[in-house]
Amino acid sequence: MKKLLLLAVLTIISLMKLSSQCNIRDISLEVADCNGDDVVAVLLNFIADEVSDSFTVVGNGINYGTYAYSDLPIDLGNLEANCDTQYEFIVKDKANPDCSGVIDHGKICCEEECNIEIVDFEAGRCDEDGITVSFDIEKTGTAGLGFDVFAGDEFVGFYKYNELPIRIKDFPSTGTATEKITVCENDRPDCCDTLVFESTCGCGIFDIDVDIVECDDADMSFYAKIDFDPQMTSDSFLLGGNNTTYGLYAYADLPIAVGPLPFSETIEYEFLIIDKSSSFCFNFYDVGKVKSCAEAPCDIDDVSISFPEDCTPNGIIYGVLDFNYSGSVSDSFTVKGNGNHYGTFAYGEDSYEIGPIPGDCKTYLEFEVRDKSDEGCSDYVELDEPICCPGTCSITDLRIDMDECDDTGSFYVDLLFNYEGSVSDSFYVKGNGVVYGTFAYGEPSYRIGPLDGDCKTIYEFIIRDVQSPDCLADVSLEEPVCCGDRCGIDDVHVEAGECDEEGMFYVDVDFKTIGSVSDSFSIVGNGRDYGTYAYGETFYRVGPLEGDCDTKYEFIVKDQANPDCSDFSGLDEPICCGSSCFLEEIGLDFDCEAGNKLIIELGTNNNRQADSIIIVVNNEMVDTVGKEDFPYFYLFDEVPETVLVELIDLNDPLCIIEKDIEINCETDCEIGDLDIDFIECDESNKPFFRLNFDHNRNDNEVFKLEVDETIIGYFNYKDLPLDVGPIDQAEEDYFFVVRDSIETSCVNRKMIEPVTCSSATDDMEEYGLRIYTLPGQLMLINEDYKDVDLQIISIAGIRTFQGSIGNAVEINTSLWYPGIYIARIKVDRKIFTRKVLIR
């Protein structure tokens, strides 16, 4: 007995360990474009850790089947895109059902308007052929196979969606400061997105590399070998850093060596490169501290990869990776690229074999070498063209010949198919979570079985080449197979009817039968038995049911003679037979300091756009407005003791909500007029403001600050003046609200005009603005004589200049520390940010 008890305990512990280790996560759903029947193909994918060999997928009362993890991603078939069903999918491990994951996808619609958006855009190097650009696309409501790309009004080319993300190496340049790229659904000029980006075809300093060379511990010094790629520069450049000017050098002399430089425990070595003819053409590189030859910063560079061998028969290739390294590297490094981890390797070899690498003719391969301990120590190489391996493996025309059931309730199938290209010598067959075996090519057909004719399983078969996992084909039976006297009920479908005057409704149920059913069945669900029915009708009406807005009705169809012969379905959401009222709640506030102002907030439970909401205040109808008119303000001539507010939907008089509040304006608290000044924009182009106001509260008491109905935070009065931000840019006025945290009727508000922050891609010249740096002087030219505010801020955040200018301003910078400064220029509520170099 003790042994049995110990065995049971060990079993439970092992199951607990399995459950704790098993993990299904990051479930994603890829929905294809709608077809003409308003259905969509759905692809399910996820990440699984410590699982068994297979899993099941269920959702919305449907069992989508059992699959092997090795088959991910899986095709769930065609789903109805009716803009009604709230789709959810539950993934459960076959051996451990407690190991599961859920994705609530929501509705799928085929009525979406076409929308396309350029994302993850990058502009690379510029040469005589044009600019290299890369981007991805997010789209909804598209129906075509691809999209058109334009440079301004010039057609660049057609590309397929399945090639995304794409790279265009010869995007035309106009030679101006900015370029424009437009992407449109193929032959759909009404479905486009346009992006304006800063041209990379001007002067530029790229790919700076600094190596520690000629390092000497005895002299406690080293040299820095500097190399980079110049683009459209003059003939020479100025090199400096750490408040030191190293000299003027010719680009033709690259690479150059600078030194000797002393070891240091404090100096963070940096190098600033500036073109001789354009101070705006610069770049810099941070080396860090160099304390000794052994403690020189880790450096990896000159990464290259070659492919000495041809592609393998199954379409893959192996590369030979080489690179240089120096400084304080760890014992190993990793190689990654295009989402693949090629491995971890020890330093010291002359080269490293990397692979397998797919030669898919479309991927621009990249390989990044990164030190294991220092993630900042890395370098990469990117191939100019995809690798294309010929002779792709192909399996086609897969079909099934099915035998009759035998006496044991089982059956066999014969699989037939064609193949060509670089297949290996064998393939394997799997399906429904079962691997049926490995077979050699060359036979006319292949017998699979025995298979259980259980009236439930829709058998699927996947053929996959042993050496080329992407070389595969699949086929499935159209419906379950019933052998012998087995009974099957399948495809239960339910449809709710209209509500009646008493708040009740009926449901029509239909389904399919397979095999040997009895003469009748029952329908049950939600703890109720809806009755027994004879087979043979087109559908069966169940009810009446209460449309209580709460119950999610389910319906299970069971054969009378064989209760295990069943299937089920249910309504996607509760049925509401009451009023369709969309009003949910009222928020009321009374501002004693702002002319006895009543502020009404509206909460709703859907997105219905109503333009006929009646507002009743203290039994008096005061206005009829739409949802977009809230918050609504109402002024009283005198302070009332109480306020009762009623909101009524004019189109549905039964849709009415009300709320009352008591008014007390007797308070000693005072919050004066709000003083709000724009300060600056951050690097993400979001503005900061400075808030100040007079008050009679203690310094340690607290007020709440809201901007555009978003709570920014709670602050002590002693924090004033207060810098607020970053705040999302607004198209309409900002609405600031300051409210005492104790005396909530002590409040003040102010609306200010929006501020538009612009990045460096905005063209200052359109506003007649030009900025120049000269020795000891910075000059801003204002050709259009508009009101311009200028701030100059150092890298340390110190404001060195602030003021308004007329047509020009000259600033003496001779006493400023040399380095990079940020110029923020405001004109017409637009902010330009520029880096300037002070020498």
**Torsion region of 456: left, alpha or beta (phi above 0 gives left; psi -120 to 50 gives alpha):** alpha
Q: Say which DSSP state 360 is in.
A: B
3-state secondary structure of 70: helix
- Tell me the percentage of the chain whose pLDDT exceeds 70: 84
β-strand pairing of 756-757 with 830-838: parallel
Separation of alpha carbons 744 and 662, rounded Å: 13
601 vs 611, higher pLDDT = 601
Mean pLDDT along residues 300-327: 84
The string of pLDDT tens digits covering residues 377-405 is: 888 888 877 887 765 667 878 888 888 88
Token match 């410590």: residue? 50
Name the nearest CA neighbour of 379 among 295, 293, 298, 287: 298
Digit-coded pLDDT (tens) for 116-137: 899 888 887 777 778 888 888 8
**More confident of the two residues 418 and 102:** 418
- Give Cβ neighbours of residue 95 (< 8 Å, ≥ 6 apart): 18, 51, 52, 53
- How many other C-beta atoms lie within 10 A of the C-beta of residue 825? 22
CATH of 675-756, one of 2.120.10, 2.40.50, 2.60.40, 3.30.70: 2.60.40
Question: How far apart are the C-alpha atoms of 621 and 638, rounded to whole Å?
Answer: 18
On the question of pLDDT at 757 being above 70, the answer is no
Per-range mean pLDDT, top range of 38-47, 77-86, 218-227, 662-671 = 218-227
Dihedral pair phi/psi, residue 186, rounded to 5°:
-50, 125
pLDDT attached to residue 594: 56
Q: What number is the average pLDDT over the span 95-117?
A: 76
| Residue 6 pLDDT exceeds 50 | no
Encoded amino acid at 312, one letter:
T
Q: How far apart are CA 397 and CA 780, in angstroms?
A: 72
| Band (596; pLDDT cuts 50, 70, 90) | low
Pairing of strands 256-262, 244-250: unpaired
Q: Are 455 and 565 in contact (CB under 8 A)?
A: yes
Cα dihedral 85, 101, 51, 568 in deg (nearest 10):
-40
pLDDT-derived band of residue 619, with 50, 70 and 90 as boundaries? confident
- CA 75, 76, 77, 78 torsion: positive or negative? negative
Confidence band, pLDDT 50/70/90 cuts, at residue 11: very low
- The confidence band for 604, taking pLDDT boundaries of 50, 70 and 90, is low
Homologous superfamily, domain 394-476 = Immunoglobulins (2.60.40.10)
* Residue 99 to residue 54: CA distance in whole angstroms: 12
Q: Which amino acid is at 338?
A: N
Write the CATH number of the domain with boundaries 299-382. 2.60.40
State the pLDDT at residue 145: 65
Give pLDDT, residue 653.
65
Tell me how far apart the alpha carbons of residues 785 and 806 are, in angstroms, rounded to a whole number.
Answer: 6
Sheet containing 632-635, strands listed edge to edge, beginning at the edge strand earlier in sequence? 583-591, 597-604, 632-635
Rounded to an integer, what distance in angstroms lies between the CA atom of residue 803 and that of residue 788?
9
Beta bridge partners of 659: 645
User: What pLDDT score was predicted for residue 5?
Assistant: 34
**How many whole angstroms separate alpha carbon 556 and alpha carbon 121?**
52
In DSSP notation, 550-571 reads: S---EEEEEESS-TTSEEEEE-
Q: Are 386 and 363 in contact, with CB atoms under 8 Å apart?
A: yes
607: confidence class by pLDDT, cuts 50, 70, 90:
very low
pLDDT given for residue 760 in this prediction: 41
Whole-angstrom distance, CA of residue 24 vs CA of residue 91: 8
Beta-bridge partners for 696: none
pLDDT of residue 380: 84
pLDDT (tens digit, 9 = 90+) per residue, 186-238?
Answer: 777 778 888 888 777 777 788 788 888 888 888 888 898 898 888 778 888 88
Does 255 sit behind a cis peptide bond, omega within 30 degrees of 0 on the bond before it? yes
Q: What is the DSSP letter of 497?
A: -
What average pLDDT does the chain have? 78
Residue 784: predicted pLDDT: 63
What pLDDT score was predicted for residue 320? 92
pLDDT of 3 over the 50 cut: no
How do the domains of the chain map onto residue ranges? Answer: 22-106, 115-198, 204-288, 299-382, 394-476, 487-570, 583-662, 675-756, 758-838
Confirm if 717 and 695 have CB atoms less than 8 A apart. Answer: yes
The pairing of beta strand 378-382 with beta strand 340-346: unpaired
22-106 against 487-570: fold identical: yes
Pairing mode, strands 472-476 and 460-465: antiparallel
Instruction: Please determine, for residue 362, whether its predicted confidence score (pLDDT) is greater than 70.
Output: no
796 band by pLDDT with thresholds 50, 70 and 90: low
> How large is the average pLDDT for residues 284-291?
82
Distance from C-alpha of 299 to C-alpha of 327, rounded to nearest angstrom:
6
Query: Do residues 350 and 322 make contact, with C-beta atoms less than 8 angstroms apart?
Result: yes
Q: How many CA atoms lie within 13 A of 752 on its CB side?
A: 18
Query: Reduced to 3 states, what is the DSSP secondary structure of residue 636?
Result: coil
Q: Categorize the per-residue pLDDT at 18 as very low, low, confident or very high, splitting at 50, 70 and 90.
A: very low
For residues 72-101, one letter each, b for 16 or more C-beta atoms within 10 angstroms of the residue's C-beta and e for the rest, the string is eebbbeebebeeebebebbbbbbebeebbb
What pLDDT sits at residue 642?
81
Identify which has the larger pLDDT, 578 or 771. 771
Task: List the structure tokens of 340.
Answer: 């693949």
CA of 590: how far to CAs of 37, 116, 357, in Å? 55, 45, 68
Banded model confidence at residue 1, pLDDT cuts 50, 70, 90 = very low
| Cα(629)–Cα(601) distance, integer angstroms | 10
Beta strands 613-617 and 675-681 are unpaired
Examine the pLDDT at 668 and tell me if it is beyond 60. Answer: yes
Residue whose pair of structure tokens reads 């190993």 in the numeric block: 332
Specify the 3-state DSSP secondary structure of 767: helix
Class of domain 204-288: mainly beta
Looking at the domain covering 487-570, what would its CATH class be?
mainly beta
CB-based contact 519:535 (threshold 8 Å): yes
Cα(674)–Cα(100) distance, integer angstroms: 54
Q: Which pLDDT score, from 0 to 100, does residue 265 have? A: 82
* 37's tokens: 């029947």
Distances (CA, A) of 619 to 49, 248, 598, 622, 652: 63, 83, 15, 9, 19
Rounded to 10 degrees, the C-alpha dihedral 221/222/223/228 comes to -130
Residues 535-566 pLDDT 10s:
888 888 888 888 877 788 888 888 887 777 88
Fold of 22-106: Immunoglobulin-like (2.60.40)
3-state secondary structure of 266: coil
The pLDDT of residue 14: 41
Q: What percent of the chain has pLDDT over 90?
A: 2
Please tell me whether the peptide bond between 754 and the residue prior to it is cis, using omega within 30 degrees of 0. no
Topology of the domain comprising 115-198:
Immunoglobulin-like (2.60.40)
Q: Which CATH class is domain 583-662?
A: mainly beta
Separation of alpha carbons 378 and 295, rounded Å = 17
What Cα–Cα distance (Å) separates residue 528 from each residue in 431, 520, 555, 700, 811?
38, 18, 9, 62, 85
Among 522, 654, 636, which residue's Cα sits nearest to residue 588? Answer: 636
Where do we find the tokens 């901007």? 707
What pLDDT is stored for residue 409 in this prediction?
Answer: 80
pLDDT in tens, 509-529: 888 877 777 888 888 888 788
Nearest C-alpha neighbor of 225 from the set 162, 161, 269: 269
- Residues forming beta bridges with residue 139, ordered by sequence position: 116
Q: How confident is the model at residue 807 (pLDDT cuts 50, 70, 90)?
A: low
The per-residue pLDDT for 322 is 92
CATH 2.60.40.3080 for domain 758-838, yes or no, is yes
Q: If we measure between CA atoms, which residue out of 103, 99, 113, 94 comes closest to residue 76?
A: 103
Report which secondary-structure segment, H or E, holds 258: strand 256-262
Check if the beta carbon of residue 149 is closer than 8 Å to that of residue 116: no
The answer to pTM > 0.85 is no
Tokens 């009525």 — which residue? 111
The pLDDT tens digits of the residues spanning 255-271 come to 889 988 888 888 888 88
How much is the pLDDT for 764? 64
Query: Which residue has 């053409």 as its token pair?
Result: 281
How much is the pLDDT for 20?
A: 46
Instruction: Tell me the CA end-to-end span of the chain in Å, nearest whole number.
Output: 89
Q: What per-residue confidence (pLDDT) applies to 759?
A: 47
